[in-house]
Structure formats: C-alpha cells, structure tokens
Amino acid sequence: MGKRLPYTPRSKIRNVLRRYIWLRSRERAAALKREKYHCQNCKRKQSKAKGKELSLEVHHLDGAHLEYIIDEIYKYLLCHIDRLMPLCVECHSKIKH
C-alpha cells in the first residue's frame, strides 16, 4: 500500500463529482430521456443487449469546466490545514450565524 498523501488527490475529487453527482443527476437523465436514448451523432440507440452493447455519454455543449470546479473545491472546501479549525457543534453554530 502506498504512502497516504496529506491532501485529497484531484483524481478522487474528479471521480466523486462524476460518479456521485453527474452520473446520478436528474439533468443527465432528462437529456437522455429527451433524446429517447439515441446518439445525436450516429442515431444509434443505447442498448444493454448481449453483443449489441452501446452506452451513451452526455456531453456538455459549453464544457463541464471540471478543472475549474476542482480548483474551487480546493480553494473553499479542501483548503490548507492552516485555514481549518475544529469546533464543537454549538460553537460552530454561533460562528456561522
């Protein structure tokens, strides 16, 4: 097993964004349903039939800006340890409000 990094790697953030947010999003599902699960380029339909497997991906026309989103996560959420302070629930509540 490798050495544990002192920070969350970009690849882990990218995987979480893709797997738990994008692939399960209502927007992605709505885009697939709107086009009746057909590729908009070659017009083939998504299929899970053995020997005829075809999966579809949903493309962002304006770009997903994933690297920018990851940068913002590092800036505001996964910031440097010097910018983090453990607090009890009560104290944290007082500071937030």
**What are 16-36's pLDDT values in tens digits?**
999 999 999 999 999 999 999
On whether residue 19 sits in a domain, the answer given is: yes
For residue range 38-77, list pLDDT tens digits in order: 999 999 999 999 999 999 999 999 999 999 999 999 999 9
Residue type, position 37, single letter? Y
What's residue 90's pLDDT?
Answer: 94
Does residue 1 carry a pLDDT above 70? Answer: no
What's residue 96's pLDDT?
Answer: 80
On whether residue 2 sits in a domain, the answer given is: no
Q: Which domain holds residue 67?
A: 10-96
> How many domains is the chain built from?
1
The rounded distance, in Å, linking the Cα atoms of 86 and 89 is 10
* Exposure on the CB side of residue 59, measured as CA atoms within 13 A: 7
